[in-house]
Structure 1
Amino acid sequence: MIEAAMIWNEPNNKSHWDPNLDPDWTKFAEMAVAAGQAIKAENPNVPRVLGGMSPIDPGWVRNMAGKGVLDHVDAIAVHGFPLDWNLWKLDEWPAKIDEIKAVTDLPVWVSEVGISTFGAEEVQVWGLKRTAELLIGKAPRIHWYSLYDLPRDWPATTRHREAEGSSYYRHFYMGLIREDGSPKPALEAFGDYAPEMGLCQWFHYQDHRLDDAVAWMKRLGVTYLRTGLSWADSFRPNALDWFDRQMEALQDFDVTVTFCFTPEHRGIEPHHTSPPLDKQEFADFCASMIRRYAPRGAAVSRPLGREPRQAALAP
């Protein structure tokens, strides 16, 4: 069920981690190390992935290496949206991955890549095809973001929201399927690249799209998926019931589950981007999710191209 555990989402992006509260990334590093250790203690066969950096920054990777984070993960992930948010061209994707490979020997995943239909749906079709040409064979995992458009009455998970201008509204048009459930032109094209390309689809608490998403992914030939189990959501009423339902629905896929988002009452400041008051609380959440959905002895696939560190020592 769980093929990998990802620690945080876009950690070096100020929309998902508040750099004002952690200017040199020490708090993040300490939290990531604690989480990596906790995941390994529960099941050393589950690969640990450092959350997808955005922007793609070799300097940030060197910082994480210097703070010991890379000793506690088995892969490192990047996010890229050159046609929507990043200041580089789509054809630069291979070079961007090589920049990270130059500063670490860890496998490099692309855990989010996508193109919005904010301007034109035809752009997404061309961009999907070109992205597949550039990335298939270049990274062990490529997660296309996303299957569904974000409903307009749901806020995008970003700290600045409408202050970002049109950049904010692009969040709502990243799907292959419109909010009303109708397919966009790129949906059929995506099927040409599955299973080599997987999906990244976030499911909100009690998300009504879950069952339809599973049906669509099977129809498209998707075999692997990235989604999230939110630490913040874990404090909602009946949260474990929802987590169980989500993970049961996704049991036929190889799932990279992302652990992220600070509960307001457990942050230095009351916001999901805040470093936690106690790094061990986040680590304990990660451990509890592994214990529940990937217990020691459970079968785990090998998406990395090599075994997780010291997996051979596992009982």
Structure 2
Amino acid sequence: MLKILKDLKRKKVAVIGFGKSGQSAAKLLLKKGAQVIISDVKPKNNLPSTIVKELEKKGAIFELGEKAQKNLFDVDFIVISPGVPMDVYKVYIKKNIPVISELELAWNFIENKENIIAITGTNGKTTTTAMVSELLVLSGYKVFTGGNYGIPLSELVYCNAKVDKIVLEVSSFQLETIKTFSPKTALLLNITPDHLERYSSEEEYAYYKYKIFENQKSSDFSILPYKEKWYEKFKSLIKGKKLFFGEKIESEVYAYLKNEKSFVIKIDEEKEEYSFLGFKLPGIHNRINYMVASLCARLNGATKDSIKALVKNFVGFPHRLEYLGNFGGIYFINDS
């Protein structure tokens, strides 16, 4: 466990940002006995009143406004929400105050870390996370799905819920301040220029994406695109067993599209071929997402039958290349 998280009783901890992640982090810290200061730029009347009252009853102190976020120098450490600007928390790092993400906080209190799957990428991570989760559910596992999308990991720890598998969508924001976070299976889907209002360059953005691999063990799985643009630059961060995927057959690739109708994955060096017949999501990128989700899920105990079943039933998410129908020979897609 991270040293700063051992015996939280009487420790003074600031939580910066009071979105879903900040709320869950604050609840968990209070449960562990920490003295919690919650900081947000929003005024109190713009925060969810029910959760504010609940946390105040438990002893949380609210310091609100932009100035409050920059005056927390007497705390033992800081937990930041994903949306907090880098210049806000870097002030504290320069003063040697430890700064971690809500993801890092929660990770340290997970008992069975061998069952964690983390998925990142510029595009497709929410869809792929849902695919992996559903494949595992169809295989009989009790699964927690959350992270950047849906329920924060801290909520699972706070509720002390018992699950078989944990499937997390992880953003670059969350990966910026990880210290020990190390999923058994880490998946990087893709990297294209994004969030350049936050990062100085695409290279810096790519670096934070590759951090998903840096704490893994050699026995863990590191899944990423074959010949990914930034691989040579950041391959030293990859500590697990490298499993590449691609559109074409390559000797080093563990998942590839055989043709428009099927894909192949390798499990224990044995090839398994699956059909795309009945797959409802449009675009080759969604076929790649399903292929990689299948590899990821199979590595974590999903059955072959689950892959054959879900391919016909997965419908994706509203407003994300959502197929609406064919009217007068015209395909209508909602990608709002």
Normalised by the length of structure 1, the TM-score is 0.29
Higher RCO (CA 8 Å, separation ≥ 6 residues): 1
Normalised by the length of structure 2, the TM-score is 0.28
Kindly indicate which of the two structures has a greater share of residues assigned to helix: 1
Larger radius of gyration: 2
Kindly indicate which of the two structures has a greater share of residues assigned to strand: 2
